[in-house]
């Protein structure tokens, strides 16, 4: 079994003048996992990803991607990495089929272009020129180009921005299929449902560093957080916070038997609740991010 981390980042720093875009960031991505990086605008996600891809130099810190420092990487390393680049306009006159076949030629062991076009849902557009694709279709093509070379590690920066709900769902299936084949995927996203559906682990980045890292279901103590039990009784809504909702629901069930407990609900904080709580704390003195409200308290009040 391969135990070398797919990505290892220790105390990464990248400053733009006085702006600390990345400020002591640590990250380990295991081989074969889907790892999502969440964080507000300007948190340092794209800067970090671009350093990992070898497109930006760091100021300080240790970085190994597939065991190699991206600043010293060669062509062979690059062929093991899948990078989804933003649309290249000079290829806009090619058709989808021509472009995928063309890019496949650069790799020693490419995927079958026709199968790939089908997998990203572009079969009906295979003969369409790239410039005539919609934004979401273009993004799917970008992803096809990122995975045509069978990368061991795939970087995706906000991959489903601009997708309609159906396209997002089928794109998620595509990514889960890639993971099942053994591809490691590191993605950034602003969609918490996307992180929840796809990611084995998520990191929340704020002010250039990781402030939380866990499985989506456990982030911020979600799984063990007190639940809010709500029901209707005597014409009013009753609520009680409890660490043992099953016991309370059992008690209510006995009290109302043989009827249903009216309006019964057991609520726990969502990933969005814990995320907003994490990124909404008072900003550190050096940061300029906006303060966000904390719905977690409202959700379990
Ligand atoms: P978003 O969610 O909006 O994509 P992000 O988390 O990807 O944000 P970055 O793009 O990494 O954030 O930017 C981090 C910080 O660094 C921001 O404050 C940004 O303005 C700044 N920054 C990024 N690139 C440069 C640059 N080339 N020169 C100066 N400042 C930059």
Ligand 1 in contact with 19 (CB < 6 A)?
Answer: yes
- Residue 86 has a pLDDT of 58
Ligand 1 in contact with 160 (CB < 6 A)?
Answer: no
- Residue 85 has a pLDDT of 65
pLDDT means per 10 residues, the chain with 301 residues, are: 87 95 97 96 94 95 97 90 71 91 91 92 94 87 90 91 84 91 94 94 96 92 85 94 93 96 92 88 37 37 39
DSSP string of the chain, one letter each residue: ---S-SEEEEEEEEEETTEEEEEEEEEEE-TT-EEEEE--TTSSHHHHHHHHHTSS--SEEEEEETTB-GGG--HHHHHTEEE-----GGGTTSBHHHHHHHHHTTSSSPPPHHHHHHHTT-GGGTTSBGGGS-HHHHHHHHHHHHHTT--SEEEEESTTTT--HHHHHHHHHHHHHHHHTT-EEEEE-S-HHHHHHH-SEEEEEETTEEEEEE-TTTGGGGGGSPEEEEEEETTEEEEEEES-HHHHHHHHHHHHTTSPPTT-EEE---HHHHHHHHHTSPPPTT--PPP---HHHHHT-
- Residue 222 has a pLDDT of 81
> Which residue is it, tokens 């891809």?
53
CATH number of 7-220: 3.40.50.300
- Residue 90 has a pLDDT of 66
Q: How remote is the CA of residue 16 from the centroid of ligand 1, in Å? A: 9
Q: How remote is the CA of residue 47 from the centroid of ligand 1, in Å? A: 6
- Residue 265 has a pLDDT of 96
Q: How is the chain split into domains, by residue range?
A: 7-220, 221-299
| Phi, psi dihedral angles at 21 (to 5 degrees) | -65, -40
Q: How remote is the CA of residue 46 from the centroid of ligand 1, in Å? A: 7
- Residue 32 has a pLDDT of 96
- Residue 249 has a pLDDT of 96
| Other beta carbons less than 10 A from residue 180's beta carbon | 9
Ligand 1 in contact with 288 (CB < 6 A)?
Answer: no
Ligand 1 in contact with 41 (CB < 6 A)?
Answer: yes
Q: How remote is the CA of residue 33 from the centroid of ligand 1, in Å? A: 26
Mutation choice for ligand 1 from 9, 16, 57, 186, CB with most ligand atoms inside 8 A:
16
Q: How remote is the CA of residue 113 from the centroid of ligand 1, in Å? A: 35
Ligand 1 in contact with 208 (CB < 6 A)?
Answer: no
Ligand 1 in contact with 39 (CB < 6 A)?
Answer: yes
- Residue 296 has a pLDDT of 40
Mutation choice for ligand 1 from 20, 40, 46, CB with most ligand atoms inside 8 A:
46
């Amino acid at each position: 079994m391969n135990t070398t981390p797919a990505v290892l980042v220790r105390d990464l720093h990248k400053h733009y003048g006085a702006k600390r875009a990345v400020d002591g960031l640590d990250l380990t991505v295991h081989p074969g996992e889907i790892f999502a990086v969440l964080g507000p605008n300007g948190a340092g996600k794209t800067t970090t990803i671009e350093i990992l891809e070898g497109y930006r130099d760091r100021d300080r810190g240790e970085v190994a991607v597939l065991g190699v420092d991206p600043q010293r990487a060669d062509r062979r390393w690059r062929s093991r990495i899948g990078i989804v680049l933003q649309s290249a306009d000079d290829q806009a006159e090619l058709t989808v089929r021509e472009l995928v076949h063309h890019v496949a030629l650069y790799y020693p062991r490419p995927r079958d272009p026709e199968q790939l076009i089908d997998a990203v849902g572009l079969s009906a557009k295979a003969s369409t020129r790239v410039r005539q694709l919609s934004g979401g279709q273009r993004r799917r093509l970008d992803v096809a180009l990122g995975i045509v070379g069978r990368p061991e590690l795939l970087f995706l920066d906000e991959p489903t921005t601009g997708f309609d709900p159906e396209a997002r769902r089928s794109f998620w299936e595509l990514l889960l299929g890639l993971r099942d084949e053994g591809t490691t995927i590191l993605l950034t996203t602003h969609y918490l449902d996307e992180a929840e559906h796809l990611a084995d682990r998520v990191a929340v980045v704020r002010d250039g560093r990781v402030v939380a890292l866990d499985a989506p279901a456990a982030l911020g103590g979600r799984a063990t957080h007190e639940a809010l039990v709500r029901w209707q009784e005597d014409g009013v809504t009753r609520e009680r916070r409890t660490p043992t909702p099953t016991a309370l629901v059992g008690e209510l069930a006995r009290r109302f038997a043989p009827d249903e407990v009216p309006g019964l609900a057991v609520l726990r904080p969502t990933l969005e609740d814990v995320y907003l709580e994490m990124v909404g704390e008072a900003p550190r003195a050096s940061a300029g991010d906006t303060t966000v409200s904390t719905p977690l308290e409202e959700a379990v009040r």
